[in-house]
Structure 1
Amino acid sequence: MKPSIHPPYGPVVFRDKAAGFAFLTGSTSTSGKTVEWEDGNTCPVIDVEISPASHPFCTGTARVLDTAGRVERFERPYAGREVR
């Protein structure tokens, strides 16, 4: 790797304000805002709209689509045709 061309890597807090959830991870992302983390260190904070605490798939509130109805609607125009 070439020296001095990579962005600095360090601890960053990603925060989901809607769910009241935050996690600390390493990243090259930066922010002008900072927050004091649980261990007493000050880290840059990035606000996100969706996190594991608020994503429908992770929380179990995801909707299941009716795939059987979609297949039937797709096959309906071709129902009278002969298969070769």
Structure 2
Amino acid sequence: MKKNIHPDYHPVVFKDASTGSAFLTRSTVTVERTIEWPDGNTYPLVVVDVTNESHPFWTGAARVMDTAGRVEKFERKYGRRTR
């Protein structure tokens, strides 16, 4: 790799705003906020809206759309199409 052309890649803590769960990973993001991690070190802190801890798909809270009900509602409203 060429020297001095890549961004600084360093440890960063990402924290879910809704659940409060956090994880330590590496990133090139730069922020002013910091947090003390259980290992005793201080790392930059990035607060995010959604992680796998709060996303409906990963938590099992995803809604299943009732497509049959939608078709029936459409047919009641506009009538059944005939050929």
TM-score (norm 1): 0.78
**Is 1:18 the equivalent of 2:14?**
no
**Is 1:80 the equivalent of 2:82?**
yes
Cα offsets for 1:18-59 (capped at 9, x unmatched): 201000001111110110111111100000001111111111
- Structure 1: how far apart are the matches of 2:25 and 2:7? 16
Q: Unaligned stretches of 5+ in structure 2? A: none
Percent identity for Structure 1 against Structure 2: 58
Match of 1:62 in 2: 62
Q: Secondary structure at the match of 1:3?
A: coil
CA contact (8 A) 2:12 2:43 kept: yes
Root-mean-square deviation (CA, aligned residues, Å) is 2.2
Q: Secondary structure at the match of 2:58?
A: helix
Q: Unaligned stretches of 5+ in structure 1? A: none
TM-score (norm 2): 0.79
